[in-house]
Amino acid sequence: MKNIFLLGATGSIGRQVLSVIRGRPDFKVKALTFYRNIDLGRRIIYEFQPEYVAVGSYDDMMILQAEFPDIVFGHGKDGLINAATYSDDSGYLINAVVGSAGLKPTIAAIKKGRDILLANKETLVMAGEIVIDLVRKYKVKLLPVDSEHSAVFQCLKAGDINAVKRIILTASGGALRNLSRDELKNVTLDDALRHPNWKMGAKITIDSATMANKGLEVIEAHHLFGIDYDRIDTLLHPESIVHSIVEFRDKSSIAQMALPDMRIPIQYALFYPDRSESDLPQLHLESFHSLHFSAMNFERYPLLQIAYQVGKKKGIMPAVYNAANEAAVQLFLKSKISFLEIEAIVASVVNEIKNIDNPTLDDILAVDQRVKDKILL
């Protein structure tokens, strides 16, 4: 029996996790969280019968507590941490929360000795050094769920990390990949949310269009695999079939390919080190007349270039970048700024904030809040 402690059950990744384990008696959802999608959350509770549930608000908690008197409920930030550390049973924390809210629950679960299946890239972007040190100290597994990092993880089975020359993360280019810089001035929210390949949540879909998502993934890859930024490259690959490539010193390259379906890397992480039979859609390469790759243009995607810059600076700067991007995307999703203003806000804040070397967790959380308050208030 594999116990699952799922944060973000009603989000895109959370729903796909549940679809992978649905009907499998060897998985038990012990605890789960969701924010405010109470109707879907209620259905998930009925189906998976968790022992602990945390929601966003106290009022929603009281409504559900009356409906499910045998389940323990919590709410807010403490509820996330309690779900991540619920019970002394072994199992996997699957962190599918979007944004900085996923950091503290991940750290709490690591200190609990719980293995981590990580879809919340902000955890490593904001506090990579701290988190990796804790993973080593508490001897827990940290398995990537993001398709690109899962792909690198799988490719590395072909050779030792010391034999790697570089890793290459691919990017679809998002919904706006065929537009020029000038054409981006008139982009609407609906335009930016029409991702051609992936079905994802709103925030990550916008990040894909700005390429901030790839920037976050570059920083995450640096921490996950211990690879210098100068050996992490990105390529545009519009078909989203090749998810990452690892090039070795002997000039051979290993690529991982699959249809753009997040259930594939989720299933790989859930069953690792085994590979389970799957009824997921099969990749038929004969259906693709060609696969395309092109170099990344930093002038077209300045947020990716800034991600490399803050990653190399280390300290507090990756957290500043992440916080500024989260806040700017939030404004864009509320139609309060234009698409290109996302880039302008992030660049401005990154240039204004003074770096802190070797920040503590409190330093990181404080700057995260300070940046968001500056942008949103």
pLDDT at 103: 97
Q: How many domains does the chain have?
A: 3
Whether 164 and 300 share a structural domain? yes
Q: Tens of pLDDT along 142-201?
A: 999 999 999 999 999 999 999 999 999 999 998 899 999 999 999 999 999 988 777 778
| Beta partners for residue 32, in sequence order | 6, 53
CA distance 89 to 91: 6
CB 191 within 8 A of CB 265: no
DSSP 310-355: HHHH-TTHHHHHHHHHHHHHHHHHTTSS-HHHHHHHHHHHHHHSPP
Predicted TM-score of the model (pTM) = 0.95
The separation between CA 282 and the C-alpha centre of its own chain, rounded to angstroms, equals 24
Whether 82 and 66 share a structural domain? yes
Whether 47 and 100 share a structural domain? yes
**Domain's final residue, options 105, 124, 144:** 144
Whether 245 and 172 share a structural domain? yes
Q: What is the CATH number of the domain that holds 38?
A: 3.40.50.720
Handedness of CA 181, 183, 186, 190 (dihedral sign): negative
Structural domain span for residue 374:
314-377
Question: What's the alpha-carbon Rg for the chain, to the nearest Å?
Answer: 20
pLDDT at 198: 74
Whether 65 and 155 share a structural domain? no
C-alpha distances out from residue 339 to 325, 334, 342, Å: 12, 11, 6
Whether 210 and 275 share a structural domain? yes
For the chain, the helix, strand and coil percentages under 3-state DSSP, each to the nearest 5: 50, 15, 35
**Domain's final residue, options 112, 127, 144:** 144
Whether 139 and 155 share a structural domain? no
For the segment 78-95, the average pLDDT, to the nearest whole number, is 97
pLDDT at 237: 96
Whether 138 and 154 share a structural domain? no
| Beta partners for residue 95, in sequence order | 7, 118
Handedness of CA 171, 293, 153, 247 (dihedral sign): negative
The separation between CA 216 and the C-alpha centre of its own chain, rounded to angstroms, equals 8
Whether 279 and 377 share a structural domain? no
**Domain's final residue, options 257, 291, 310:** 310
Handedness of CA 99, 15, 118, 172 (dihedral sign): negative
Whether 305 and 171 share a structural domain? yes
Whether 32 and 113 share a structural domain? yes
pLDDT at 196: 79
Mean of the per-residue pLDDT values for the chain?
96
Whether 268 and 295 share a structural domain? yes
Q: Tell me how crowded residue 57 is: count the other CB atoms within 10 A of its CB.
A: 14
CA distance 187 to 204: 17
Q: What is the CATH number of the domain that holds 362?
A: 1.10.1740.10
